DNA sequence: GAAGGCGGTCTTTTT
DNA sequence: GACCGCCTTC
C-alpha cells in the first residue's frame, strides 16, 4: 500500500506502527479518522485477520462511518471487524456471558429516566426526604463511583461519619440489589459489569484478548477510569493498543472522563510510540488562529500547535444582538443570505449552542422563515412518553422480572388498577420472592384486592398472550408486527385515538415512527448479519434503541440546517458554523465561572471544539438581553470572544476587551466582506447593544435595556408556538400522513392478521388516515392506515 | 381511583 | 417557564 500517496508523514507513521502501544495525538481536523482507516487497511494488508481487530468509537454514527470507510478502502473483510461504541461492545459481551454474573441474557438497560424512577422508589422505602437529598444527587454519586469502579462495599469504607454520605452508601446497595432483581443494568453498569466479568473470569478475558489482538480507541480523552480499565484488560496480552485523542477536546469530565488517561498514557505504556498530528485540513487560518488563541489560555496541555496551509479565509464574525430573538433572526437571515448567494446549502450550516434550552428560540425562527432544520438532541425521540410506554411493554415481554417497567404500564392506559393495589401486589411478590409480574398473574391469591384482582389477571394474560405468540418462530422475526400487536391489544392505541388532546395525534405519529424504526432495524440487522437467518430478537431491538444517541440519526442526505449542543457537535465539521449565546453566564456558564479553574478549562475546551468545527466561516453571536430560567438577564460578551485577538475578528465587538477598559462606547465595527448589507440594522442594534452589553457583572451596571422594539409587523411570537410547531410537523410529514395508500374505497385488500376484505370507508382525522375494512372472516374493523399496512389485491 | 390545581425548584453538557 | 410532586375534590 502506498500510504505516502494518501497520508502525510505523521499520519503515515501512525498507519504503519502496528505493533505495541501507540498514542496518536490528533488535533482537531487533523485527519484522524482517515489515519485510523488506513491503519486498519494496512493491518488487513499485513494479513491480520479482520476478526482480530477492534475499534471503539464514541457514537454509533462514528462507528458506522469508520466501517464504511474501511469497507470502501479494502473492499471486503470489513464486516468482520468489530467496530462499536463502548456501550454496545459491552452489551454484546455481557449478553453472551450474563449468566456468569447472575443475570439473564435478556437484561433490560435503564436510561436516566428509569434510574430516577427506581431511585425515587428507593428513597420512599428508605424514608429519605428528597427535598433535602435529591434522587439526582444520589444517582450522581453512584454514577461517579461506577465511573471509578468503586463498588457499594468499597464506597462503604470510603464514607466517613457524614450522615448524608452514609445514606447514599446505603441507597447504592439497595439500588444495585434492585437492578439485579429486575434483571436490569444502567449505562454505567454495562462498563463496570464487563470489567467485573473479566476480573472474575480470566478464561473469558483470555478469549477476548485472543480475539482482539489489535485494539483502537477513538476519542480517548473522553474515557473514564472504568473504560480505561476495560481497555487495559483487553490489551494486556498483546499490547497492540492504539489510542487516538486530543486533550484539548476533552469535554466530558462531568460524566467521569479522566483526562489523565490520555495525559499519562506514556506513563502507563512506557514503550508507547507517540505521534502528533498537527496539520489541520479543515479550517482556514483565521478560524484556526482564533481557536488556538482561545485554547492557549488553558494550563497543562500537551504541547502542540495546529497549523494549516489553507488560506486566511474570512475573519471570525462576531455579532452582538440585542436579544435572543434578534440573535435567532440574525442567524436565520445570515444563512438565508448565503443560500441566496449560492455560497452554501442548508446542510453546510450548523448552529451550535451551550444548552438545549437555546434551541427553542432558534427553532421558532426557523419555522417562521420556513427554513429546513433538524434539531439534534433535546427531547430525545426515545425519551417521549408514548415511546417509553411502548418500550416498557416490550421490556415487560422480554424480561418479566423488570418490575419497574411493569409498574410503568400496569395502568397505562387506565385499567382501574391504582397505586394502592399495585403496592399490595408488590408486597405479596416480595414475601413470596416472585416478580411483580408473576404476582399480578396470580392476583386472586393476593388478599384485599377485591375486583382489582381480576383486572390484574387480565393484564397479565394480555402480556402472556403476546409473549407466547412472539415465541412462535413465525412471530419472532417480525418486530413491526409485534409492536403493532402490543399497541392494539394493550388498548394503548385506542386510548390515544379517542382522545381529544391534539398532542395525542402526534403521539400516534411517533409510535408509527417507532414501528418504522423497528422495520428499518430488521433490515439493517439482516444486512449486517447475513449468516443469521432468524432475524433480530426483541432483546436485540431493545438493546439497539437503548444505545442510540441522537447524533446517530443524523444523515447527510437531507438538506437542512443542523441545530445542536456543542457537545453533540464533537467529531463533526461544517462549512458554516454559528455559535449562539457567546455570553458570560451562559457560555461559559455561571457554574464554570464560579466552579474553579478546572471547570473553566473544560468550558474553554468546549469553545475550542465548537470553533474548530468550522471549515470556511465561523460566526459567533451574543445577545445583550436574554431570558434564562424565566429570568431576564443581561450577560456580558463571553470571555472566550474576548480571548480572540482582534486581528482574527470582524464584527460589532464592543470596544473594551475587559471590564477595566472603556465600556461607555457604542461598540466598534470591523469591516469585512458580505456584511455591508446589514449595516443599517447592525447599526441600530449596535447602539442598543452598546448600552446593554455590560450589565450584570462586576457591579458595573448600566441601565437595563428596554424591551427590544419589534422590527417587523408580524413576529413569530404572534403565532402560538404550538401552531407553528404543528405547521412544522406537517411540513416534515409523518409517515401517517405521507404513507402511500394505493387503495381506495371499494378495493379488496389484505391484512396480515385479519386476512382479506373490502375497504368500506376512509377518513382523515387528527392528521391520520383511518380505513374501515369489512373482512371476509374477521368482521368490520377500523384501522389506522399507517399501522395496518394493508396490501391492495 | 382519577383529574385538576397549586407551589416550589431548578438547568449545563450525555453514552 | 417547565416540570414535578403534593394536595384537594369528585
Q: Per-residue DSSP letters for A34-93?
A: HHHHHHHHHHHHTT--GGGEEEEESSHHHHHHHHHHHHHHHSSSGGGSEEEEHHHHHHHH
- Starting at the edge strand found earlier in the chain, the sheet holding A779-784 runs A779-784, A768-775, A755-765, A748-751, A791-792
Residues within a 7 A CB radius of strand C: A 120, 130, 627, 629-630
Instruction: List Cβ neighbours of A270 (8 Å cut-off, separation of 6 or more).
Output: none
Place of cell 448600552: A691
Distance A14 CA to B7 C1' (A): 60
- Active-site residue identified among A32, A69, A354, A517: A32
Model confidence at A697: pLDDT above 60: no
Average pLDDT rounded to a whole number, residues A476-492 = 89
Q: What's the pLDDT score for residue A764?
A: 66
Q: What's the pLDDT score for residue A656?
A: 53
Looking at the C1' of nucleotide B10, which residue has the nearest alpha carbon? A629
C-alpha cell at A376: 439534534
Model confidence at A161: pLDDT above 90: no
Q: What's the pLDDT score for residue A793?
A: 83
Tell me whether residue A32 is one of the annotated catalytic residues: yes
Looking at the C1' of nucleotide B13, which residue has the nearest alpha carbon? A567
- Active-site residue identified among A147, A170, A186, A219: A219
- Active-site residue identified among A135, A218, A583, A602: A218
Give the sign of the dihedral formed by CA A52, CA A57, CA A61, CA A65: negative
Tell me whether residue A671 is one of the annotated catalytic residues: no
Closest-CA residue to A608 (of A301, A355, A248, A289)? A248
Give the sign of the dihedral formed by CA A781, CA A783, CA A788, CA A792: positive
Q: Which is higher by pLDDT, A530 or A354?
A: A354
Q: What's the pLDDT score for residue A381?
A: 83
Lowest mean pLDDT among A514-528, A613-627, A675-689, A745-759: A675-689
Task: Please state at what angle helix A538-547 crosses helix A479-489, rounded to 10 degrees.
Answer: 90
Tell me whether residue A219 is one of the annotated catalytic residues: yes
- Active-site residue identified among A613, A615, A626, A642: A613
Model confidence at A708: pLDDT above 50: no
Q: What's the pLDDT score for residue A706?
A: 29
Q: What's the pLDDT score for residue A786?
A: 61
Residues A242, A214: contact at Cβ < 8 Å?
yes
Question: DSSP readout, A265-278?
Answer: HHHH-TT-EEEEE-
Lowest mean pLDDT among A16-30, A220-234, A469-483: A469-483
Rounded to the nearest angstrom, the gap between the alpha carbon of residue A321 and the centroid of all alpha carbons in its chain is: 30
Model confidence at A460: pLDDT above 90: yes
Q: What's the pLDDT score for residue A647?
A: 95
Distance A550 CA to B14 C1' (A): 10
Distance A49 CA to C3 C1' (A): 53
Model confidence at A672: pLDDT above 80: no
Tell me whether residue A92 is one of the annotated catalytic residues: no
Q: What's the pLDDT score for residue A693?
A: 34
Place of cell 400522513: A737
- Active-site residue identified among A17, A223, A225, A249: A249
Looking at the C1' of nucleotide B1, which residue has the nearest alpha carbon? A418
What are the CA-CA distances from residue A584 to residues A218, A590, A604, A631, A635 (Å)? Answer: 32, 7, 12, 16, 6
Sorting pLDDT into bands at 50, 70 and 90, what band is A702? very low
A384: phi then psi, degrees, rounded to nearest 5:
-70, 150
Using the CA of A717, give the nucleotide whose C1' is nearest. Answer: C1
Using the CA of A591, give the nucleotide whose C1' is nearest. Answer: B12
Q: What's the pLDDT score for residue A476?
A: 60
Q: What CA–CA distance (Å, rounded) separates A596 from A299? A: 13
Distance A144 CA to B6 C1' (A): 36
Model confidence at A716: pLDDT above 70: no
Average pLDDT rounded to a whole number, residues A208-223 = 96
Distance A136 CA to C5 C1' (A): 15
C-alpha cell at A186: 444502567
Distance A131 CA to B9 C1' (A): 10
Instruction: List Cβ neighbours of A359 (8 Å cut-off, separation of 6 or more).
Output: A353, A375, A378, A563
Model confidence at A458: pLDDT above 80: yes
What are the CA-CA distances from residue A417 to residues A34, A389, A402, A576, A636 (Å)? Answer: 57, 16, 18, 54, 54
Using the CA of A131, give the nucleotide whose C1' is nearest. Answer: B9
**What is residue A224's DSSP assignment?**
B
At residue A104, the 3 state secondary structure works out as coil
Model confidence over A395-432: pLDDT tens digits?
Answer: 999 999 999 999 999 998 888 888 888 988 999 999 99
Residues A123, A172: contact at Cβ < 8 Å?
no
Place of cell 481536523: A29
What's the distance, Cα to Cα, between the start and end of chain A in Å?
56
Q: What's the pLDDT score for residue A765?
A: 54
Q: Average pLDDT of chain A?
A: 84
At residue A654, the 3 state secondary structure works out as coil
Distance A662 CA to B14 C1' (A): 41
Paired strand residues for A186: A110
Closest-CA residue to A712 (of A324, A321, A326)? A326
Looking at the C1' of nucleotide C1, which residue has the nearest alpha carbon? A630
Question: DSSP readout, A2-16?
Answer: -HHHHS-HHHHHHHH
Q: What CA–CA distance (Å, rounded) separates A557 from A204? A: 42
Q: What's the pLDDT score for residue A784?
A: 65
Model confidence at A788: pLDDT above 80: no
Give the sign of the dihedral formed by CA A294, CA A566, CA A265, CA A83: negative
Model confidence at A777: pLDDT above 80: no
**What is residue A648's DSSP assignment?**
G
Residues A675, A650: contact at Cβ < 8 Å?
yes
Q: Report cis status (omega within 30 of 0) of the bond before A413.
A: yes
Sorting pLDDT into bands at 50, 70 and 90, what band is A769? low
Average pLDDT rounded to a whole number, residues A26-42 = 94
Q: What CA–CA distance (Å, rounded) separates A329 from A326? A: 5
Q: On chain B, which bases lie within 7 A of the protein's CB atoms? A: 1-3, 9-15
Residues A599, A592: contact at Cβ < 8 Å?
yes
A700: phi then psi, degrees, rounded to nearest 5:
-90, 75
Dihedral over alpha carbons A432, A437, A439, A441 (to 10 degrees):
-140
Half-sphere exposure of A137 (CA within 13 A, CB side): 13
What percent of chain A clears pLDDT 70, i.e. is strictly above it?
Answer: 86
Model confidence at A751: pLDDT above 80: no
Using the CA of A630, give the nucleotide whose C1' is nearest. Answer: C1
Using the CA of A190, give the nucleotide whose C1' is nearest. Answer: B15
Closest-CA residue to A29 (of A608, A566, A557)? A608
Question: DSSP readout, A270-339?
Answer: TT-EEEEE-B-SSS-HHHHHHHHHHHTT-SSPPP---B--S---SPEEEEEEEEHHHHHHHHHHHHHHHH
Average pLDDT rounded to a whole number, residues A456-464 = 95
Using the CA of A117, give the nucleotide whose C1' is nearest. Answer: C4
Q: Which is higher by pLDDT, A604 or A125?
A: A604
Average pLDDT rounded to a whole number, residues A135-156 = 94
Q: Strands, E, within A559-640: which ranges?
A: 561-565, 574-579, 614-628, 631-633
Model confidence at A664: pLDDT above 50: no
Q: What's the pLDDT score for residue A709?
A: 30
Model confidence at A190: pLDDT above 70: yes
Tell me whether residue A712 is one of the annotated catalytic residues: no
Average pLDDT rounded to a whole number, residues A559-585 = 95
Tell me whether residue A129 is one of the annotated catalytic residues: no
Q: On chain C, which bases lie within 7 A of the protein's CB atoms? A: 1-2, 5-6
Model confidence at A323: pLDDT above 90: yes
Average pLDDT rounded to a whole number, residues A116-122 = 90
Residues A389, A409: contact at Cβ < 8 Å?
yes
Looking at the C1' of nucleotide B9, which residue has the nearest alpha carbon? A131
Q: What CA–CA distance (Å, rounded) separates A331 from A561? A: 11
C-alpha cell at A262: 490520555
Distance A136 CA to C7 C1' (A): 24
Sorting pLDDT into bands at 50, 70 and 90, what band is A473? low
Using the CA of A124, give the nucleotide whose C1' is nearest. Answer: C5
Model confidence at A680: pLDDT above 50: no
Angle at A483 between CA A109 and CA A391, to 5 degrees: 25
What are the CA-CA distances from residue A131 to residues A82, A161, A741 (Å)? Answer: 46, 21, 53
Instruction: List Cβ neighbours of A599 (8 Å cut-off, separation of 6 or more).
Output: A591, A592
C-alpha cell at A765: 382525522
Distance A416 CA to C10 C1' (A): 16
Amino acid at each position: 500500500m502506498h500510504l505516502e500517496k494518501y497520508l502525510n508523514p505523521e499520519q503515515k507513521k501512525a498507519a504503519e506502527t502496528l505493533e505495541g502501544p501507540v498514542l496518536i495525538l490528533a488535533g482537531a481536523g487533523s485527519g484522524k479518522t482517515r489515519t485510523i482507516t488506513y491503519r486498519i487497511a494496512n493491518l488487513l494488508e499485513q494479513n491480520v485477520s479482520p476478526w482480530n481487530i477492534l475499534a471503539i468509537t464514541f457514537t454509533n454514527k462514528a462507528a458506522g462511518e469508520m466501517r464504511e470507510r474501511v469497507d470502501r478502502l479494502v473492499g471486503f473483510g470489513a464486516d468482520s471487524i468489530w467496530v462499536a461504541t463502548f456501550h454496545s461492545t459491552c452489551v454484546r459481551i455481557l449478553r453472551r456471558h450474563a449468566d456468569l454474573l447472575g443475570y439473564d441474557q435478556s437484561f433490560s438497560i435503564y436510561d436516566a429516566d428509569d434510574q430516577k424512577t427506581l431511585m425515587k422508589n428507593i428513597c420512599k422505602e428508605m424514608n429519605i426526604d428528597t427535598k433535602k437529598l435529591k434522587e439526582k444527587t444520589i444517582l450522581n454519586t453512584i454514577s461517579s463511583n461506577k465511573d471509578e469502579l468503586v463498588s457499594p462495599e468499597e464506597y462503604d469504607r470510603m464514607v466517613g461519619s457524614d450522615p448524608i454520605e452514609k445514606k447514599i452508601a446505603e441507597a447504592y446497595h439497595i439500588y444495585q440489589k434492585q437492578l439485579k432483581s429486575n434483571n436490569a443494568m444502567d449505562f454505567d453498569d454495562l462498563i463496570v459489569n464487563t470489567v467485573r466479568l473479566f476480573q472474575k473470569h480470566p478464561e473469558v478475558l483470555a478469549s477476548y484478548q485472543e480475539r482482539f489482538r489489535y485494539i483502537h480507541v477513538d476519542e480517548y480523552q473522553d474515557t473514564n477510569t472504568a473504560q480505561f480499565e476495560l481497555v487495559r484488560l483487553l490489551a494486556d496480552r498483546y499490547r497492540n493498543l492504539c489510542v487516538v485523542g486530543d486533550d484539548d477536546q476533552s469535554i466530558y469530565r462531568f460524566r467521569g472522563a479522566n483526562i489523565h488517561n490520555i495525559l499519562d498514557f506514556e506513563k502507563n505504556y512506557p514503550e508507547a510510540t507517540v505521534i502528533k498530528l498537527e496539520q489541520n485540513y479543515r479550517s482556514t487560518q483565521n478560524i484556526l488562529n482564533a481557536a488556538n488563541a482561545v485554547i492557549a489560555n488553558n494550563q497543562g496541555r500537551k504541547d502542540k500547535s495546529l497549523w494549516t496551509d489553507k488560506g486566511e479565509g474570512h475573519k471570525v464574525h462576531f455579532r452582538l444582538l440585542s436579544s435572543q430573538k434578534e440573535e435567532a433572526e440574525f442567524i436565520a437571515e445570515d444563512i438565508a443570505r448565503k443560500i441566496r448567494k449560492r455560497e452554501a446549502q442548508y446542510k453546510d450550516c450548523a448552529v451550535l449552542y451551550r444548552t438545549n434550552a437555546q434551541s427553542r428560540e432558534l427553532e421558532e425562527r426557523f419555522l417562521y422563515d420556513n427554513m429546513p432544520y433538524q434539531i439534534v438532541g433535546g427531547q430525545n425521540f426515545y425519551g417521549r412518553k408514548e415511546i417509553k410506554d411502548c418500550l416498557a411493554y416490550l421490556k415487560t415481554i422480554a424480561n418479566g422480572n423488570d418490575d419497574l417497567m411493569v409498574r410503568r404500564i400496569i395502568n397505562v392506559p387506565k385499567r382501574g388498577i391504582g397505586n394502592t393495589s399495585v403496592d399490595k401486589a408488590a408486597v405479596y411478590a416480595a414475601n413470596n420472592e416472585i416478580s411483580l409480574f408473576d404476582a399480578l398473574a396470580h392476583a386472586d391469591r393476593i388478599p384485599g384486592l377485591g375486583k382489582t384482582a381480576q383486572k390484574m389477571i387480565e393484564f397479565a394474560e394480555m402480556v402472556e398472550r403476546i409473549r407466547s405468540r412472539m415465541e412462535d418462530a413465525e412471530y419472532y422475526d417480525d418486530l413491526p408486527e409485534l409492536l403493532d400487536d402490543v399497541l392494539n391489544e394493550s388498548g394503548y392505541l385506542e386510548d390515544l385515538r379517542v382522545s381529544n388532546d391534539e398532542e395525542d395525534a402526534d403521539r400516534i405519529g411517533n409510535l408509527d415512527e417507532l414501528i418504522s424504526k423497528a422495520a428499518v432495524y430488521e433490515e439493517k440487522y439482516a444486512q449486517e448479519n447475513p449468516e443469521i437467518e432468524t432475524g433480530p430478537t426483541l432483546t436485540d431491538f431493545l438493546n439497539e434503541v437503548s444505545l442510540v444517541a441522537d447524533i446517530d440519526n443524523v444523515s447527510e442526505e437531507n438538506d437542512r440546517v443542523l441545530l445542536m449542543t456543542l457537545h453533540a457537535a464533537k467529531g463533526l465539521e461544517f462549512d458554516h458554523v454559528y455559535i449562539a449565546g457567546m455570553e458570560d453566564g451562559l457560555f461559559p456558564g455561571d457554574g464554570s465561572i464560579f466552579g474553579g479553574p478546572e471547570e473553566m478549562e473544560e468550558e474553554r475546551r468546549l469553545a475550542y471544539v465548537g470553533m474548530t468545527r468550522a471549515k470556511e466561516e465561523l460566526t459567533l453571536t451574543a445577545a445583550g438581553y436574554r431570558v434564562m430560567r424565566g429570568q431576564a438577564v443581561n450577560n456580558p460578551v463571553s470571555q472566550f470572544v474576548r480571548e480572540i485577538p482582534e486581528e482574527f475578528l470582524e464584527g460589532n465587538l464592543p470596544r473594551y476587551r475587559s471590564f477595566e477598559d472603556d465600556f461607555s462606547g457604542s461598540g466598534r465595527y470591523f469591516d469585512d466582506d458580505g456584511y455591508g448589507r446589514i449595516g443599517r440594522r447592525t447599526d441600530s442594534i449596535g447602539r442598543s447593544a452598546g448600552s446593554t452589553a455590560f450589565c450584570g457583572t462586576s457591579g458595573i451596571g448600566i441601565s437595563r435595556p428596554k424591551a427590544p422594539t419589534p422590527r417587523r409587523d408580524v413576529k413569530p411570537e404572534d403565532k402560538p408556538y404550538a401552531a407553528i410547531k404543528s405547521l412544522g410537523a406537517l411540513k416534515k410529514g409523518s409517515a401517517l400522513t405521507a404513507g402511500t395508500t394505493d387503495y381506495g374505497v371499494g378495493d379488496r385488500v389484505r391484512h396480515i392478521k385479519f386476512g382479506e376484505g373490502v375497504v368500506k370507508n376512509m377518513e382523515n382525522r387528527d392528521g391520520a388516515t383511518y380505513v374501515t375494512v369489512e373482512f371476509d372472516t374477521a368482521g368490520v374493523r377500523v384501522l389506522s392506515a399507517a399501522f395496518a399496512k394493508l396490501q391492495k389485491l
